[in-house]
Amino acid sequence: MSAAAGRLGELLGIDHPVVQGPFGGGLSSVALAVAVSEGGGLGSYGAHILSPEAITDLVAELKAGTQRPFAVNLWVPLDGEEDLRPDDAELARHAERLLPYYAELGLSVPSAEEVDGARLDFGAQVDALLAAGPPVISFVMGIPPRRVIDEARRRGTAVIGTATTVDEAVALERAGVDAVVASGSDAGGHRGAFLRPVRESLVGTFSLIPQVADAVSVPVVAAGGIADGRGIAAALALGADAVQIGTGFLATRESGASAVHRRALSGPDARTTVLTRLFSGRTARGIPNRFVRDMAAYEDEVPPYPVQNALMQPIRRAAGGQGRAEYVNLWSGQAAALARGSVGAGEYLASLVEGAREHRAG
């Protein structure tokens, strides 16, 4: 480990203060996480939608791919989320506004039973993950239960939590996490707010970092809108110990991003991303497309996650399969235009490290 890796490097045994952000929704890949970890950063895999068995297999695959530290990420359920069980009538009411899209893509509306069947069991996921023993577990959307943090400590697994406000960072530190990701509102993908509503938790990355750095003593990982060496140097200057980069790595060759998503990341609409609840019922940042524009009037009306997510899943999948960007969730942070595009993740990581060094020295 080099001195430049800082406190997060010391904690985790990585060479560079760069974390590849985990991607839920099937956009992570073992190849991406392995390439970043082998390059001396912290590769991550978003396991949010995986079954406990698939999580066990995933960790085995990651361990076979690299001897270096890597992280596996899960979503902590929000209070009440696991009890949301709409009946067929309520579901039909929410599905009504989506009927033209189901029809256009040749799909049928999922039943209440199917929506219920798509539910994830966080307790079983996290037990499988702890037992598989990855070097690092990261969480988003909440505070992992005490028993999980205790068990991780017992097994020598580091725990990273994700905060969108100073209060969330303090709560995570109190709960015993080893490091905190400070996720600014510039970041791509879902907002992880858990103490207050999302609209009261939208602090920009470069406002959030110094305030979180002042408020907690564990290492702080800055996330959101960082995609080149200048951004890393700026985040470190503001008190971050490391950065977490999502969109920049999503654009690299090894990620699980589809061709339509990659094209959108390098297109003009990626310069003006929006926050939307329409794809999942939970606020996320992505590139505006026809679906987001046509449905804008329903932003506050769609049901919460995971109900809207289950209603939209067939539409997102079918549209993705048909290469139709207009109905796909094109998650992206605000700095997509700074990403390097389809280079290899190792090459991108090396350019980040080199760029940060130049800008810190200058």
Ligand X SMILES: Cc1cc2nc3c(=O)[nH]c(=O)nc-3n(C[C@H](O)[C@H](O)[C@H](O)COP(=O)(O)O)c2cc1C
Contact residues: ligand X, CB under 6 A? 21-25, 27, 46, 48, 73, 140, 162, 183, 186-189, 223-226, 244-248, 250, 331, 333, 335
Nearer to ligand X by Cβ, of 264 and 315: the residue is 264
Of the two residues 33 and 95, which places its CB atom closer to ligand X in the complex? 33
Residue 6 or 286 with smaller CB distance to ligand X: 286
* Least distance from ligand X to the Cβ atom of residue 87, Å: 29
Q: How far is the CB of 309 from ligand X (least distance, A)?
A: 12
In the complex, the smallest distance separating the C-beta of residue 341 from ligand X, rounded to whole angstroms, is 15
**In whole angstroms, what is the distance from residue 93 CA to residue 96 CA?**
5
CA distances from 89 to 42, 83, 111, 122, 301 (A): 46, 17, 10, 27, 16
Q: By C-beta, is 132 or 221 nearer to ligand X?
A: 221
Q: How far is the CB of 301 from ligand X (least distance, A)?
A: 24
Give residue number: closest CB to ligand X.
Answer: 246
Side chain identity, residue 222 = A
At residue 75, φ and ψ (nearest 5 deg) are -95, 130
Q: Which residue has the tokens 């796909």?
A: 328
Pick the closest to residue 266 from 337, 350, 343, 333 (CA basis): 337
Nearer to ligand X, 186 or 241 (CB): 186
* Order of strands across the sheet that contains 70-75: 18-20, 242-245, 220-223, 179-183, 158-163, 136-140, 70-75, 43-46
To the nearest whole angstrom, how small is the minimum distance from the Cβ of residue 245 to ligand X?
5
Instruction: Find the DSSP H helices in 71-155.
Output: 88-96, 99-105, 112-117, 122-132, 146-155
